[in-house]
Structure 1
Amino acid sequence: MGTLHVPDLLINGCFEFEDCAVLVEGPVIAGLDSYETLAAAHPGARVRRWPGYLVPGLCEHGEVERLERTYYPDPREAEELGTEPLTGAALAALDMNEARWGASARRGLQRLMAQGIVEICGEFTRPVIRDAVLRSGMYSQPPHERRALRVGGEARFAVFDDDGCVAAVIGGRLVYRRR
């Protein structure tokens, strides 16, 4: 069936396309063409229209260290710990175990996806955090030099408007959508 992602503008490398859509089938990009062409060829495809521009997505190299040295509080802890990430002395005061580190990493990854980051590369020292990143589909080793959208390539991209990230797709799955 597939999903057609239709942005106002598609930016792929150095090129901009105003009337272009991305057809995603499973984890891969099955088509890059005008919306009309892809919709006619795939009449059963779900259509997701996005305001703004669709790009290959962002890769971060420094997030491994941040995930391993930051605690992202659970919303249920907001009254006690607040909602902002904790580091330094505030982190040292917490009773951190592997389960808590893993949950923190998952919440941190959600924050990264909300920024349009769809790929993280680097070396992990905490296995529980590495596992969370691997499960998210965001891990890449070695990092991609320059990511471009291409037919047959992995469906990994983000959509932005003037207010920031609208949506993020990793492995063909919509992993973040701004409300």
Structure 2
Amino acid sequence: MLTIHADSRGRALAVKGAWIADAGPLAELVAAHPGARVRTWPGILTPGLINLHGNELLEEAYHPDPREADELGVEPLTGDALAALTMDDARWNASVRRCVQRMLAHGTVRAACEDLRNRTVREALHRSALAGMGRIGRPGGTPALDPYAAGIPVEFARPRERHSAARFAVFDVRDEAELAERGAGTCVATVADGRLVYRRR
């Protein structure tokens, strides 16, 4: 089944399986692929974001369950607050799942990590829709689920073009300048390996 994703500017991607089958103006793709499912989104289509703080967010932070909000709050716990928690494999696994979902909700499709030391974290990331990628050393800035809030230059995954991996995001903004100003919290949809892995409700 081929799906065409289009933004408010009429830019579109035709996705088949995990790959981009075609790219171009919406009208051209609809004509070239009759019968394709069409999804139109508010805002702009971009390559997915890369969060450079993979280690810090995935294995050096605990992302509380909403049911723990009264006791632990809603922000990731690090340092002494993390050290005070009893972290078993089940808790790490759940934390990674929540972290990944929050990254996807910010248009992130890749997390840059040095070697992950925690086996449970490593396996949970491998099972997720978020792709890992290597990095050397700490990237600087402040770890944040929104890469625009980290205080370092924002990096995107590879450009979306024909025969490339279908990993992209849609942000409800007019253009890239407004995205940089308002941040990745404006994400309305994230696609990874051709699957819609996040959609704002």
Q: Shorter chain as normaliser: what TM range?
A: 0.7 to 0.9
Match of 1:91, SS state, is helix
**Which one has a larger percent strand, Structure 1 or Structure 2?**
1
Residues in 1 aligned to 2:60 and 2:132: alpha-carbon distance in whole angstroms: 20
With over 3 angstroms needed to count, the CA separation of the structure-2 counterparts of 1:145 and 1:175, relative to structure 1, is closer
Provide the residue aligned with 2:121 in structure 1. 129
The equivalences for 1:87-102 within 5 A come to: 87-102=78-93
The one-character-per-residue Cα deviations of 1:21-75 (angstroms, maximum 9, x if unpaired) are 1000110001102212221232322211111111111112222222111111112
Q: Post-superposition, which runs of at least 4 consecutive aligned residues in structure 1 deviate over 4 A?
A: 142-146
Match of 2:133, SS state, is coil
- Residue 156 of structure 1: which of 162, 167, 172 is its match? 167
With over 3 angstroms needed to count, the CA separation of the structure-2 counterparts of 1:79 and 1:165, relative to structure 1, is same
Provide the residue aligned with 2:197 in structure 1. 175
Q: Percent identity?
A: 50
**1:171 partner amino acid:** D
Provide the residue aligned with 2:98 in structure 1. 107
The one-character-per-residue Cα deviations of 1:91-111 (angstroms, maximum 9, x if unpaired) are 222111011101101101111
Question: Which segments of 5 or more consecutive residues in structure 1 lack a partner in the other structure?
Answer: 10-18
In the comparison of the two structures, how many residue pairs are matched? 170
**1:2 partner amino acid:** L
Residues in 1 aligned to 2:134 and 2:8: alpha-carbon distance in whole angstroms: 32
Residues in 2 aligned to 1:160 and 1:88: alpha-carbon distance in whole angstroms: 32
TM-score by length of 1: 0.86
Aligned residues: CA RMSD: 2.0
With over 3 angstroms needed to count, the CA separation of the structure-2 counterparts of 1:97 and 1:48, relative to structure 1, is same
Give how far 1:142 is off: 4.5
Residues in 2 aligned to 1:58 and 1:146: alpha-carbon distance in whole angstroms: 6
TM-score by length of 2: 0.77
With over 3 angstroms needed to count, the CA separation of the structure-2 counterparts of 1:5 and 1:121, relative to structure 1, is same
1:141 pairs with 2:163: no
